[in-house]
Structures are given as structure tokens and as C-alpha cells.
Amino acid sequence: MSALPVGATIGILGGGQLGRMLAVAASRLGLKTHIFEPGSAPPAGDVAHAVTMAAYTDAAALKAFAASVDVITYEFENIPTSALDILEALKPIHPNRNALATSQDRLTEKTFLRDLGLTTAPFAVVADAASLDAAIGTIGTPAILKTRTLGYDGKGQARLQSPDDATTALDAMAGAPALLEGFVDFTHEVSVIAARNPDGAVACYDPGENLHADGILRTTTVPARLSASQRTDAVLLAGQILNALDYVGVMGVELFVTSRGLVVNEIAPRVHNSGHWTQNGCTIDQFEQHIRAVAGWPLGDGTRHSNVTMENLIGDDMDRVPEAATSNAAIHLYGKAEVKPGRKMGHINRITGPA
Ligand code: AMP
């Protein structure tokens, strides 16, 4: 793929905060963005060159969108297959279809990771009470039952402390195909944000350490608590995943740190909440990096110049703005009009020192 010229247009599926920050990064590079979003008042719409508000089932809107852009990317992985079929015939989509399909289904994802030789939680497919019993027999408890598709921020998950929890957990899946995962005894969670461009160049950011509450990311801190060899392992396995998928763009790789090494939890084929710290910790942040990759431009390196703690502003956390804007705190707000419990409204990157 030849590099897109300045002035070219990048189509972004999804108009949330990730799309918004991608659009800002693209505009800094002299590129235009066109957002496709089914909902109303998309946060990315404030900062993009063009917005189409239409359903993913609207074939005419999808075709017109594709005709107006040079390349297509996305900010979330649950794009309906039928929409991709239409778009893919008209314009290149990065990251590719295989990367999307791999991350859309936890079974495909875990199988792919295991086949690469990486460590995942033990897993087994669950379709009904009998297969759940069988899965508990092989995996044991504690365990977590997760829907295979459409899970995010801890939604679509049920914990089983003992086999007695089987019925309640299965009910929580509401009939959706599921996967039982063995409980990983981790000390902490980290993620690697990694990028690959069409030439096969790879750049990884320093792993960040993630803290969740109620299944939602609260903070990411760099540097993470990792030994030098764990840090190398984390970055190498991310590169291995990108190469195996012939990936173009930024990916988030979530890892559990255990006494027996790193366990891959999941991959996200997009810019990632746990990579927001790069906006103020690195010269080239994850959003510019993703735009560079999908535009076929050279990647920036991932070198970190500052130590950062990123804190998500969720729901009422917004009440702390603007007081939270202390001299070492970069505030990033998403322009969402309505505050709702659990809704990501913005984030703060606090610089805690030089790297
Ligand atoms: P996920 O949606 O798969 O990222 O899961 C959300 C959170 O649940 C993770 O960040 C972990 O804190 C926890 N979790 C998920 N899977 C496991 C597992 N197999 N063992 C232990 N904790 C898990």
C-alpha cells in the first residue's frame, strides 16, 4: 500500500471518544476524517470533517460513506458482518477482517492465541447446562462464564465460586453461546499497546498497569510493575500477535501477570482505553500511531518520556472538573452532553515524573 497523501480522508466506523481522539490526531496530520455512527450526537462528530448518522443496515449510506473516503478503520470491534461485506468491496479496511473476526468471538480469539503458543486461561465452550457441567469437570472452579461475543467492560460475565453457581451463571448468559474460563490467579493486570504498519514495521509502547472497578478500567499507570524480562516478553508476544494477523493499526493486548509468567486475557483490534496515557507520556500517541499505520505512514517509536497515571472520569467523576485540572494534569473530555453512571466522560493524564 502506498502512503496516503496529506488531505486524504480516513473513514472511521464509530463516533465515540476513541473515534473523536482519532479524528483529532488525523487532523494534526493534515488528514480528514468521516465518521459513520448509528447513534445521535456522536462525540467524534464535533471534531470530524464529515459525519454520517445511519444504521449499519443502511446499505446506501454505507456505500456513500465508502465512496467518500480513502481508507476505512474503526473504533470498536462489534461491527456487523453485513456492513463489512459492503464496505470491504469498496475500500481497504484496517485492521483487516481476520483481526476483527478473531477478536469478536472469545473462542476464536483464545484458540488463535493458544495456537500461537501463548498462554491463556484454560477454556471450554458452553452451550447448555450439560456442556457447562462438563466444562466445570475439566476446568474446575473458581471460573468465569463469559458470552462468546459482544462482551465489554465486564458485561456478559458471571463468576462461579463453586459448581453450585452453575445455574445462576448460565441464566446470566440469557441463552447466548458462552465460554467457561478458569480463574487466573494474577497479581496484577497490564496491557501492551502495539502498532504495525503495512510495511510490517512494529512499534510497542511500554506496558501499562491497569486497575479495574466493577469491570471498568479506572486507572492505567506507567511504568507497570514488571521485571525487565516480563517487559520484554509482553512486547514480544504483542509483536507476534500483530505479525500472525498481518495486522495494520494499533492493538491493545491485555495481560495477567502471574508467578508463572504472562497470561493473555484478550486483544482489542483498535486504540485502547489503557493506551490513553500515551497522549502525554510519548511524543507520538496511540491515536496518531493508528492513523499513521492505516495511512501507510512511517510509525513513531513508543518511547516514553514521562511517567503517567491515567484516570478515567466515569459518571459523576465529572463533578471534579475543572478543579482536577492541576498543573501536572492533562484533561481530556469527550464532549458527552449527558452524564450517566458508568459512562466514560473523559480522562486525566497525571504526569508523575520524568521516565
Ligand atoms: P474481560 O472482559 O475478559 O477483559 O474481563 C474483565 C475483567 O475480569 C478482567 O480485566 C479481569 O480483571 C477479570 N477477569 C476476566 N477473565 C478472568 C480470568 N480468566 N481469571 C481472572 N480474572 C478474570
152: confidence class by pLDDT, cuts 50, 70, 90: low
pLDDT above 70: percentage of residues in the chain: 98
Q: What are phi and psi of 332, to 5 degrees?
A: -125, 110
Task: Tell me the pTM.
Answer: 0.96
- pLDDT above 80: residue 4: yes
- pLDDT above 90: residue 150: no
Q: What are phi and psi of 262, to 5 degrees?
A: -90, 135
pLDDT above 90: percentage of residues in the chain: 92
Q: Where are the domains of the chain?
A: 9-93, 122-182, 188-354
The predicted pLDDT at position 325 comes to: 85
Pocket of ligand 1 from Cβ distances under 6 Å: 121, 144, 151, 154, 181, 183-184, 189, 212, 215, 254, 265-266
The CA 177 to ligand 1 mean position distance, Å, reads 18
Over residues 140-152, the mean pLDDT reads 89
Name the E strands within the chain: 9-13, 32-37, 50-53, 71-74, 123-126, 143-147, 157-160, 178-182, 188-196, 202-204, 208-213, 216-222, 249-258, 261-268, 306-314, 329-333, 344-354
The CA 109 to ligand 1 mean position distance, Å, reads 14
The CA 106 to ligand 1 mean position distance, Å, reads 12
Q: What are phi and psi of 5, to 5 degrees?
A: -75, 155
Domains 9-93 and 122-182 share a fold: no
CATH code, residues 188-354: 3.30.470.20
CATH code, residues 9-93: 3.40.50.20
The predicted pLDDT at position 153 comes to: 60
Q: What are phi and psi of 99, to 5 degrees?
A: -65, -40
Over residues 43-52, the mean pLDDT reads 97
Query: DSSP class of residue 271?
Result: -
Residue 147 DSSP SS3: strand
Q: What are phi and psi of 70, to 5 degrees?
A: -100, -30
Give the CATH fold of the 122-182 domain: Dna Ligase; domain 1 (3.30.1490)
pLDDT tens profile 153-197: 667 899 999 999 999 999 999 889 999 999 999 999 999 999 999
Residues across the chain: 355
pLDDT tens profile 265-282: 999 999 999 999 999 999
245: confidence class by pLDDT, cuts 50, 70, 90: very high
CB 125 within 8 A of CB 135: yes
CB 195 within 8 A of CB 251: yes
pLDDT tens profile 289-328: 999 999 999 999 889 999 999 999 999 999 999 898 888 9
Ligand 1 pocket: which of 103, 144, 185 to mutate (most atoms <8 Å of CB)? 144
